[in-house]
Structures are given as C-alpha cells and as structure tokens.
C-alpha cells in the first residue's frame, strides 16, 4: 500500500465527479465523487443495496437503459458517459476491466478455459498459436498449476479458487489500466481469500495498475486498500485514507460496519442426539476409457463420527476442497455415502428414496447462493409454498403457513408477490430460509449461508438463526469459512482439512486452545 503522500504524487487515471444514478424518482447513487491514481487501490464498502456495484457498472456503461446516469467520469481525457456504445466497447477490457462477483455464473459454462480467456485476444486478431501462448502465460501469472492441462477444462471442472483465478486472467488479458474487482473473494475461505488478494496486489504492482475494490469484507479492505469510500443507500458517508477511516471513523454508520460483535452462541442443555454419524465417508468414482469404467476413487470425506443434539448447532469449517459441502450433501442424502446417518432413530442410508421422502420434511438444506437456488420464475409465495404442495393441505392453510414463515424471517407479507431478482442478497437468503422453515424441520443444514452478505446483514441473519434455535429448538449443521459467524452461533466446531477431521471440540475451547497448527492458521487468518 502507498502512504497518503505517495498517493498524492501519482498521476490521476480516473476522475469521477457528482455521479448520480436514478431509477424513476429513486436515487440509487447520489453525488459520488472520487479520484483514482495509477497503482492505487480505492475500496468501496457498504451494505447490500448501498450503490457499490452499480457505481462501477456505470463507469463501464453496463447499466440498463431504464436507469438515468448523470455526472462526469473522466478517463484519459475522455468523458466516458458521453461515449457511443462502439466507443465504450473499445474501453471495456482494453483500458478498464472488471472481475465479477460470482465466477460460476460469470464464466460461460459452455466454453473451455482457453476460449474464455482467449476470446478478447482472438478479437484483437492474434493467431491461434499466439492466443494459446498468451493464455498459458496468463494462467501462470495468476498461479494456476499445470496451465496446459487446464486449457481444455470447463468452469464446473475447476475449484472455486481456480475459477476466480481464471476470471482474473480473463480481466487482465488486454493489460487494462484500471481493474474493478467486485467482491472478488466472496465465496472463498480465508486462506484462499488471502491468496487471491495477494495475487491481485502483486499483479497490480507488476503492471502499475489502478484498482477499485468493491467488498463487504472490511478485513480485506484494511489490508489491501489505500483509500476507502463508505456508501449508505447511495450516498457517501465517509471517504478517506484506510488508516484514518479504520482508526478514527467519523460516522455512526461506519462505526456500525466496523462492529464485528455478533453476540454469543446460546448455552444449550445436553439432550438426546437428533443426528448421529458413524463412520460416514464420501468417495467419488473416477471413470476412464471407452466403456467409462471406474478406475479409481477420490476421497471427499474420510470416515468420521459426530453427534448433534436437539437444539444444538455444530459449525463445520475448513478451506475450499476440505470436504465441508460433500459432508452436507451426504447428510441430506443428495449424494451417495458410506456409513450410518441416524436421524430421529432411522438410518437414512438404509432407506429407499420412496421411504425417505416423508422424512425429508424433518431435515432441510439452505444453499450458499440463494440467487441460483431460488427459481427465478416463481414468486416468493410460490417458492415458500412449493414444499407444502406434497402435503395436500387446503389453500388457506398453505397461505397462513407462508405468512408465518415470512414473519419468522422478519419479512413483510407484501413480499409474497416479488420475484428473486427484486430482492437484495439478504432478503433472498431469508426467503431460502423461510422455504426450509415452512416445513418445520428438526434439522437445517446451512451451506455458507452468510458468505455473500455484508457484515450488517450477516449479523441480522445470525441473530435470526439464534432466535429460531431458541424458540423452535431447531438444530443446525452450519458450514462456513467465516469463523466470526461460527463462534457467534455454534456450540461445537468440526475442523476438516483434505477430507480428514483435524479436531472436534466445543467452540470456545477451540478458539482459545486449538489443538492443531491448521486450526491455528485458520483462526489467525480470520483475525481483524
């Protein structure tokens, strides 16, 4: 990072003055002004819906026509807002490039890595051989091992960290002057987050590139930014150097964002086990040859034992690829596993799909990204009521249950007619939770339910989950890479690493006296 004096001596590459974005009579962004200098990182922070992402999309001219954009965006003696569409295309990717929030949806699932990264290079007139050579060099730059082998892979064949690196390679293909990184580490664990941000900083230094970092993770902002803009409901609350803002915040809103106290996990009285796992393991077959025969297996989860009490929450933590999500899917009987999964006295692995179906009401799963797990064609009411359709209940009772579920997750009944795209990230996550709660399950498996949310929304979701745990006696298997959230919600923590259990103990004991170096590294990486 640069000192304030160093930053002021650098040439200005982007000058934004009085940027306003409106939708009908609503101000989405109001009077945003800042300057970005060569090699500098400006972070834009704020809650969901504060105007962070649409401000960056306005710079690139990627907002829908229904939004009115006014003000000045000056880049290399050009006023970007007044350029024609053809002129804007010459700027995008070439001069100003963007890494989008969710690589799985931003990368074309039908194209291989070579075409995804090389597409812009082909449009520049490079030959096939030159494109391949440049793509391999870019993959090396972003730290992907065996890049030649990765050229033929599709996005779904890559890990989360690898997909994010492919996104970065794609954005850097034409050597942009400015890189906009919109939540570049949202879905990654703490160790991968540090790797990706360190990578971006080293590439930034190497290329003397300016960067706009959009993030709700203030830990990362503090480590990797020079200037910080705090936005709230479209307005700038505070703007200043990173040290000044974190050490002496002026506004109550900023102080609230910097508050990482999520409260304490509930004290649970020991009761009978709701869920018991005995020697549970997950292996995925590797098939090869013309006949697609199984040649070998990849172990996703080594045999483990676990007991979850009624009303208890167990956190499952570990880096990407450690086996967390595989364990969750196995417990929910969404993938095959070996061993015993005893829920309410019945071994789920011994039940056929037909006999398991009535039991599914007792356990539900809430996925990481509610935008992909909610059907975009169904209203909120249809989404929540979907699971009730198998129960042959009268329509009035279904409507009452939907209203109760919405009330439980602190959303008004008026939301029933909305579609997923009309909701914020926090609201979508509440709908995903309401869909699970409407069936009154004893167990909810939560797979990274707060990773894509800002700190304020995360805090409200944790408070909500804790209240449901207390009032309804719901038990949670809570998968997360955010140890602050785990500590505030869970009574015990299971640490996974490379498919193996590293340790399993009570939450406070684990944080105060971790038994393994790996757990100590995880805790250190999450410190603010």
CA 507 to CA 511: how far, in whole Å?
6
Residue 9, classed as helix, strand or coil, is coil
pTM recorded for the entire structure: 0.76
Based on the domain organization, do 315 and 457 belong to the same domain? Answer: yes
How does DSSP classify residue 476?
Answer: E
CA 7 to CA 488: how far, in whole Å?
39
**Residue 300 within any structural domain of the chain:** no
Neighbours of 268 (CB within 10 A): 17
Helices and strands, number each (H, E), in the chain: 22, 20
Neighbours of 169 (CB within 10 A): 25
Based on the domain organization, do 519 and 383 belong to the same domain? Answer: yes
List, as one string, the DSSP characters of 189-217. -HHHHHHHHHHHHHHHHHHT-EEEEE-S-
SS (H, E, C) 47-106: CCCCCHHHHHHHHCCCCCCCEEEEEEEEECCEEHHHCCHHHHHHHECCCEEEECCCHHHH
Which among 215, 233, 259 is the end of a domain? Answer: 259
CA 457 to CA 461: how far, in whole Å?
6
**Residue 358 within any structural domain of the chain:** yes
Would you mind telling me the total number of residues written for the chain in this entry? 528
Which among 234, 259, 284 is the end of a domain? Answer: 259
Based on the domain organization, do 373 and 486 belong to the same domain? Answer: yes
CA 142 to CA 207: how far, in whole Å?
13
The CA-based dihedral angle spanning residues 435, 437, 439, 441, taken in that order and rounded to the nearest 10 degrees: 130
Based on the domain organization, do 445 and 324 belong to the same domain? Answer: yes
Based on the domain organization, do 235 and 372 belong to the same domain? Answer: no
Based on the domain organization, do 429 and 318 belong to the same domain? Answer: yes
Helix orientation angle between 128-141 and 160-172, rounded to the nearest 10 degrees: 120
Which among 243, 259, 275 is the end of a domain? Answer: 259
CATH at 417: 3.40.50.300
The CA-based dihedral angle spanning residues 413, 418, 422, 423, taken in that order and rounded to the nearest 10 degrees: 40
Residue 332, classed as helix, strand or coil, is coil
The token pair at 460 is: 């409200």
pLDDT at 474: 93
Based on the domain organization, do 78 and 218 belong to the same domain? Answer: yes
Based on the domain organization, do 212 and 331 belong to the same domain? Answer: no
| Best CA proximity match to 333, nearest among 362, 298, 305, 294 | 362
Burial of 527 (0-12, 13-18, 19+ CB in 10 A): exposed
What is the total count of domains within the chain?
2
CA 463 to CA 454: how far, in whole Å?
14
Based on the domain organization, do 317 and 422 belong to the same domain? Answer: yes
∠ CA 455-458-459, rounded to 5°: 90
Based on the domain organization, do 430 and 357 belong to the same domain? Answer: yes
**Residue 109 within any structural domain of the chain:** no
Contact 315, 478 (CB under 8 A): yes
Strand ranges across the sheet with 227-232:
78-79, 67-75, 12-23, 26-37, 235-241, 227-232, 41-45, 210-214, 178-182, 96-99
Based on the domain organization, do 470 and 373 belong to the same domain? Answer: yes
**Residue 444 within any structural domain of the chain:** yes
Each of the 528 residues of the chain gets a pLDDT tens digit; together they read 655 555 567 789 999 999 999 988 889 999 999 999 999 999 999 887 788 989 999 999 999 888 999 999 999 889 999 999 989 988 988 899 998 877 767 788 899 999 999 988 888 888 989 999 999 999 988 888 888 888 988 888 887 778 888 888 888 888 899 999 988 876 666 667 777 788 888 888 888 899 999 987 777 788 889 999 999 989 999 999 999 898 999 998 888 888 777 888 999 887 789 999 999 999 988 777 666 776 777 898 999 999 999 999 999 998 877 889 899 999 999 999 999 999 998 999 999 999 998 899 999 999 877 777 889 999 999 999 998 887 888 899 999 999 999 988 888 888 999 998 888 777 888 899 999 999 999 999 998 888 767 777 788 889 889 998 998 899 999 998 888 899 999 999 999 998 999 999 999 999 999 999 999 988 887 765
Based on the domain organization, do 324 and 255 belong to the same domain? Answer: no
In terms of residue numbers, what domain contains 220?
A: 1-90+206-259
pLDDT at 387: 87
**Residue 326 within any structural domain of the chain:** yes
pLDDT at 409: 86
């Amino acid at each position: 990072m640069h000192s304030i004096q160093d930053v002021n001596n650098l040439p200005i590459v982007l000058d934004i003055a009085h940027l306003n974005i409106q939708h009908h009579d609503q101000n989405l962004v109001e009077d945003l002004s800042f300057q970005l200098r060569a090699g500098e990182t400006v972070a834009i922070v704020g809650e969901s819906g504060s105007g962070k992402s649409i401000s960056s999309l306005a710079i690139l001219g990627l907002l829908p026509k229904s939004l009115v954009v006014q003000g000045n965006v000056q880049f290399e003696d050009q006023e970007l807002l007044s350029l024609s569409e053809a002129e804007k295309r010459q700027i995008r990717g070439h001069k100003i490039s963007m890494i989008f929030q969710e690589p799985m949806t931003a990368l074309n699932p039908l194209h291989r890595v070579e075409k995804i990264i090389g597409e812009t290079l082909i449009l520049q007139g490079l030959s096939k051989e030159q494109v391949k050579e440049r793509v391999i060099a870019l993959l090396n730059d972003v730290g992907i091992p065996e890049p030649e082998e990765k050229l033929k892979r599709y996005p779904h064949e890559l890990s989360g960290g690898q997909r994010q690196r492919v996104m970065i390679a794609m954005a850097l293909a034409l050597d942009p002057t400015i890189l906009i990184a919109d939540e570049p580490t949202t879905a990654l664990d703490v160790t991968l987050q540090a790797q990706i941000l360190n990578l971006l900083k080293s590439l930034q230094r190497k290329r003397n590139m300016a960067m706009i970092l959009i993030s709700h993770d203030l830990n990362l902002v503090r480590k990797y930014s020079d200037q910080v803009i705090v936005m709230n409901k479209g307005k700038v609350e505070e703007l200043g150097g990173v040290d000044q803002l974190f050490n002496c915040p002026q506004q109550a809103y900023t102080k609230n964002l910097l508050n990482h106290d999520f409260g304490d996990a509930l004290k649970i009285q020991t009761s009978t086990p709701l869920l018991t796992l005995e020697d549970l393991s997950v292996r995925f077959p590797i098939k090869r040859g013309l006949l697609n025969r199984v040649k070998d297996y990849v172990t996703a989860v080594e045999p483990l034992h676990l007991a979850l009490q009624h009303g208890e929450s167990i956190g499952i933590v570990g880096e990407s690829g450690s086996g967390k999500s595989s364990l969750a899917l196995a417990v929910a009987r969404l993938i095959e596993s070996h061993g015993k999964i005893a829920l309410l006295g019945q071994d789920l692995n011994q039940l056929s799909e037909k006999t398991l179906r009535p039991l599914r009401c007792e356990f539900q799963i809430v996925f990481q990204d509610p935008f992909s797990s909610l059907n975009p064609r169904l209203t909120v009411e249809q989404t929540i009521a979907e699971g009730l359709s198998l129960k042959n209940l009268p329509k009035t009772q279904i409507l009452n249950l939907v209203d109760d579920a919405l009330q439980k997750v602190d959303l008004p009944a008026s939301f029933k007619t909305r579609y997923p795209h009309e909701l914020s990230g926090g609201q979508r996550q509440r709908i995903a939770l309401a869909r699970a709660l409407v069936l009154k399950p004893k167990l909810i498996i939560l797979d990274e339910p707060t990773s894509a949310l800002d700190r304020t929304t995360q805090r409200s979701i944790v408070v909500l989950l804790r209240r449901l745990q207390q009032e309804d006696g719901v038990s949670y298997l809570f998968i997360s890479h955010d140890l602050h959230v785990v500590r505030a919600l869970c009574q015990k923590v299971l640490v996974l690493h490379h498919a193996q259990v590293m340790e399993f103990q009570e939450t406070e004991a684990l944080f105060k006296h971790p038994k393994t170096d790996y757990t100590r590294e995880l805790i250190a990486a999450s410190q603010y």
